[in-house]
Amino acid sequence: MTETTNTAEPLLDPSLFISEDVHRREVKLADGRKHTFYIREQDAGVLRAFFAGQASDDSDKQADSMARLIAKSICDPEGNPALSLADAKRLKFAVQIALTKAISEVHSYQGKESSPAEEVESGSDTSSL
């Protein structure tokens, strides 16, 4: 006689949660070349801090919030941080904007799970962050 084990269905779809996956993105920068970046999803607190910084009347807080998001999100292929906060602050503004768009793309909710290999590589100018 074979026993079957019934497992409970998850209460919430796994695609509703941040992933531990590293997302590869090809980003076209102002120099006209495509550059490969690796991005880790961040929890809601990091994103809320970014938005709060961007909404601030303090220009230093605005600049810091973008650099902090980039430093936390950009990583190597194994998911280790690739930029210090000091390095992220030194990036050219056009590079910061392009990376923020790529980070936004990674954080957009698509309503389905996808593996990094299934993701479309893009430097798309659509943003949903």
pLDDT per residue as tens digits for the range 15-68: 788 888 999 999 999 889 999 999 999 999 999 999 999 999 999 999 899 999
The answer to whether position 101 is within a domain reads: yes
Which domain does 46 fall in, by range? Answer: 21-107
The answer to whether position 48 is within a domain reads: yes
Phi/psi of residue 77, nearest 5 degrees: -60, -20
Domain count for the chain: 1
Q: Which of 25, 20, 28, 21 is nearest to 36 (CA)?
A: 25
The answer to whether position 119 is within a domain reads: no
Please state at what angle helix 59-73 crosses helix 93-107, rounded to 10 degrees: 60
The answer to whether position 11 is within a domain reads: no
pLDDT per residue as tens digits for the range 74-114: 999 999 999 999 999 999 999 999 999 999 999 886 555 44
The answer to whether position 14 is within a domain reads: no
The answer to whether position 118 is within a domain reads: no
Residue 87, domain CATH: 3.30.2220.20
